Structure 1
């Protein structure tokens, strides 16, 4: 495993970080707790020491699963990343989305990041994770109803209290990054980035490189799309959010499949899966510090971690990018 430092911090994360959204089951067609715990432990055994979660993932379930998985591990060998700012138990702020919880009951999720709310969320996360500090605390989505100054000063207070070590953000554009940086030392921005979603390359990525902010790329496999395991006609569970995304239409699955066939010979040559090749390409892109990769079981976890060991030359990376640039998806 490789490890990279976040921004101007002393915090080093495993280049492949365990993404625990699916572990919570919410919007992923449920979860199997025992398998999720095993996946996290298996990741740790092969060097994936960093775990990213959030309260909203399973409405606390993902954090509880992470807490269970790390219970007997030395705390100073693990980096816990979690978030705040999405409330399903409080109707304040602005409505983010309507959803269903893991019991199938309707819930409204709000973007809300006031000082009082952040303090409560942090305490709840610490309890669920079974720890007394969070290595990286990130606002999950921008909250237009709360001044950024109030939000960042609340996180600063948590840092002063020793409950949080470093501050990060998620889904922030350049303007929001600039404003937040006036009030706190940010070390990272967690944003979506994959072979088929490269919007950040225009503005956000150059800004982060210039200002020494690390990019934590989430959904690098585009929710399983880039693994090669989904073909036209693929059926999702009724509560699986992917069914409504344009990436997963039959037309786009056909196009993605054709692209993956073009790079499949390279995967065979490297003796790796398509998913591993995709992860390796991602972490070799300029400005991408780490990639978050979820796993449902031990095998997936080990495969994700092993992607770091693939040797790709600049010519081979360029070949993949060339094929990628010719890919046209239908929105």
Structure 2
């Protein structure tokens, strides 16, 4: 495993970081708690020391699972990355979505990052995670109803209290990052990036490179699409959010699989799966610090971690780049 520093901080995280959204079950058609715990422990055994979660994932379930998974690991050996700013138990801010919780009950989810709310959320996360500090605390989505300086003054207070080590953002553009930096120095931005979703390369990636901000690429496997295991006639479980996404419609799946067929010989050359090749390529991209990879079980988690064993030549990277650019 490779370990990379986040921004200006002394926080080193594993280049493949465990993404615990699916572990929470919410929007993924349920979860098996024990399998999720085993997945986190299994990938820790092969060098994945960083775990990214959020309160909204299963409305606390994902954080509880992470807390359970790491309780027998020395706290300084793991890095916990969690978030704030999405409330399902408070109707303030902007309505982000109507959803259902893991029990099938209707819930309204709001983007809200007011000062008192952040302080409250942090306390709840610390309890669920079974820890007294969070390594990286990230706003989950921009909240247009709260001034950015108010949000990051609250995070600054949590850092002063020792409850948070470093601050990051998710889904911020370059302008929003610059605004937040007037109040508090950020170390990272967690944003979606994959072979078939590269919009951030225009403006946000150059900003992050220029200002020494790490990029945590989420959905690098495009929620499973880039594993090659999704076919145009794939049947999704009830409650799986992917069924209605543009990237999971038959035509786009077919187009994506044609791209994967072209890069498969490189994966074969390295005795690697397509998913492993895609993860390795992702963290070779300019500005990408880590790739977040989710897993529903131990085997998937270990396979994701082993993507770091692949060593791609410059020619191989260029071949993949050319195919992705053509896509």
State whether TM-score is above 0.5.
Answer: yes
The one-character-per-residue Cα deviations of 1:73-132 (angstroms, maximum 9, x if unpaired) are 000000000000000000000101111100011110000000100000000000000000
Query: What are the within-5 Å matches in structure 2 for residues 238-277 of structure 1?
Result: 238-277=238-277
Aligned match of 1:45:
45
Cα RMSD (Å): 0.5
Aligned match of 1:206:
206
More displaced stretch, 317-326 vs 154-163: 317-326
Q: Specify the SS of the correspondent of 1:69.
A: helix
Q: Distance in 1 between matches of 2:78 and 2:243?
A: 34
Aligned match of 2:98:
98
**CA apart distance, 1:321:** 1.3
Aligned match of 2:220:
220
Aligned positions, number: 327
Q: Specify the SS of the correspondent of 2:168.
A: strand
Query: What are the within-5 Å matches in structure 2 for residues 159-170 of structure 1?
Result: 159-170=159-170
Aligned match of 2:184:
184
Aligned match of 1:18:
18
Q: Specify the SS of the correspondent of 1:186.
A: coil
Q: Distance in 1 between matches of 2:323 and 2:178?
A: 35
Aligned match of 1:107:
107
Q: Distance in 2 between matches of 1:130 and 1:319?
A: 46
Unaligned runs of 5+ residues in structure 1 are none
**CA apart distance, 1:326:** 1.9
**CA apart distance, 1:198:** 0.5
**CA apart distance, 1:62:** 0.1
Aligned match of 2:119:
119
Q: Specify the SS of the correspondent of 1:223.
A: helix
**CA apart distance, 1:257:** 1.0
Segments ≥4 residues shifted beyond 3 Å: none
